[in-house]
Structure 1
């Protein structure tokens, strides 16, 4: 028969030991339930992973805004560069005209010198500032009609030359400021894209693949609309739609406007250029490049401008779909027209 022993009663020292043992057991249980330090990062809370992917989305959106600023500054720089070249050419022609006029007067002076002396009025005509002579009305009496006419022409030519030089200097300063803007926006884009890429690289592979599946629509069933759908508003719109369809699958590259890679506004600009229509470089400017139409009357070829700051653009191609260049790492693709908040629909 089994014997039942009475548990002996102990003093305070024994109770303290029991307390210590209980605490140790609780600590061990907590350690067993927590993931080891070397565990797969996939064991992190889902909220943390969601915050990381949300941050990536925000960074890509910010990078797109910075890209549009870069595109705008780059377009301004190209325009200013052309204007500076034109001004420099006009300044050079004005300088040549002044040189020719002074040369003719110099020949006249040489002839007078050989004849026994130079008319003081002619000396003033050959000075650096002949207008100072003309300011003295009484001195005009010493000039013949032909000499006075030449002097007036020279003064006008020199004034034109000075004006050209001032305009060229101002444009050169503007060009330098625009170049600095381009460099600043480029640095901003690169920083945001690099930060987004680091966040993506830090995600567990499964989370990264899940984000890519949710963010990309390549190969999505039913993504490609039926080309026999709604009718474009014009022949030019039809040509632009054909061009933008042909670009599907091309890589996104910020600051690019084709033909091998595109950012969002570069794609729409390129497609309409293929149709013989000139569009501005940025999505903000493209919002005003035509007339607005209600979303309910949208037709293929219309530009769909997204977000309140007009930082993204796609081209409607029918059947509720747009073609657009979404973000770095993605390719030109079809997506639903309502993929993000629409600020305007423009028909070039």
Structure 2
């Protein structure tokens, strides 16, 4: 009897657990969205650093290939000197050093002897300089490759962290009722009618393209044409206008001309929020068009609801 009563009390206790209020759910959702934005921004930065290092390594590899070709040409030239002397039966002792198994030893010894002609000595000096340059460039390339490997691993960890934050956000949304979800993620903002100063032809075309995506779902990492994250929507819209915009907020912040104040914004300008973690497109009248966050859809909404303005750019 006691056991049955205990079970009954436990069941009642479980059933009586209070459900979170809409305000509490909104607070949780806002925290998760902010955490997701931070994680995604950190990953984007690491990815940009990774791409920059990869580009630097590629340049070094190309330079090494060119310098190696020059060294090979010089080696062929020095070899021709040796062959010429061999044919005359008077192989110079210095030139004989070419046959050594250690090229660096050959270069060191040959440069310290004065039995070569001026042209031969010049060729050997060039070869030694070329070998030294190659050694330095190969060492630098090795350092950059090690840095690239570390950054790549870091970026992979950040990507996993960002994905986990997005997943947690989606799980919270899935736990809500349909009405709560609609209330907390907002609609498409299609009832807003912004007005403002027109941008140039590219910006206006980008804005017109972005408006056609209102109602499309947000999806982290998506660049369109039917799903977008915040920077993906900007990149896609500007691509429709014939302009190649960077793939993430940090690349996009480096493009165009700074805008001094909200009053100077033109339709189609990019507005960055919360330290560069989010980007939207100025629609005029205090409204931006953007892809907000997980669970929401491309929409227009008041700039005051998005976050702290970090930077504004005219493309």
- Which TM-score band applies after superposition, normalised by the shorter structure? 0.7 to 0.9
| Match runs of 1:107-186 below 5 Å | 107-124=80-97, 128-129=103-104, 130-133=106-109, 136=112, 139-140=113-114, 142-186=115-159
- Cα displacement (A) at 1:108: 2.8
TM-align CA RMSD:
3.1
State the partner residue of 1:335.
301
| Match runs of 1:278-317 below 5 Å | 278-284=244-250, 286-287=252-253, 289=255, 290-307=257-274, 309-317=275-283
User: Helix, strand or coil: the match of 1:338?
Assistant: helix
- TM-score calculated relative to the size of structure 1: 0.75
- Cα displacement (A) at 1:63: 0.7
User: Helix, strand or coil: the match of 2:276?
Assistant: coil
Which protein shows a greater Rg?
1
Q: 1:277 to 1:213 in 2, by over 3 A?
A: same
State the partner residue of 1:252.
218
Q: 1:179 to 1:256 in 2, by over 3 A?
A: farther
User: Helix, strand or coil: the match of 1:329?
Assistant: coil
User: Helix, strand or coil: the match of 1:156?
Assistant: helix
Q: Which of 84, 87, 102 lines up with 2:60 in the alignment?
A: 87
Matched, 1:188 2:138: no
Instruction: Quote the Cα distance in structure 2 between the aligned partners of 1:252 and 1:312.
Output: 13
Task: Give the count of matched residue pairs.
Answer: 304
Contact 2:217/2:295, CA 8 A, preserved across alignment = yes
- Cα displacement (A) at 1:315: 0.4
Instruction: Quote the Cα distance in structure 1 between the aligned partners of 2:93 and 2:224.
Output: 65
Contact 1:75/1:281, CA 8 A, preserved across alignment = no
- Cα displacement (A) at 1:146: 1.5
- Cα displacement (A) at 1:190: 1.6
Q: 1:154 to 1:90 in 2, by over 3 A?
A: same
Contact 1:53/1:211, CA 8 A, preserved across alignment = no
Instruction: Quote the Cα distance in structure 1 between the aligned partners of 2:222 and 2:173.
Output: 24
- Cα displacement (A) at 1:236: 2.5
| Match runs of 1:1-16 below 5 Å | none
- TM-score calculated relative to the size of structure 2: 0.82
- Cα displacement (A) at 1:125: 5.5
* Long gaps (5+) in structure 2: none
Contact 1:70/1:255, CA 8 A, preserved across alignment = no
User: Helix, strand or coil: the match of 1:217?
Assistant: coil
Instruction: Quote the Cα distance in structure 1 between the aligned partners of 2:174 and 2:103.
Output: 68
User: Helix, strand or coil: the match of 2:301?
Assistant: strand
- Cα displacement (A) at 1:279: 4.4
Q: 1:53 to 1:184 in 2, by over 3 A?
A: same
- Cα displacement (A) at 1:331: 2.8
Instruction: Render the CA deviation track for 1:303-343: whole Å, top value 9, x for unaligned.
Output: 12222x23111001224321111112333222222222332
Q: 1:97 to 1:183 in 2, by over 3 A?
A: same
Q: 1:293 to 1:115 in 2, by over 3 A?
A: same
Q: 1:258 to 1:87 in 2, by over 3 A?
A: farther
State the partner residue of 1:10.
none
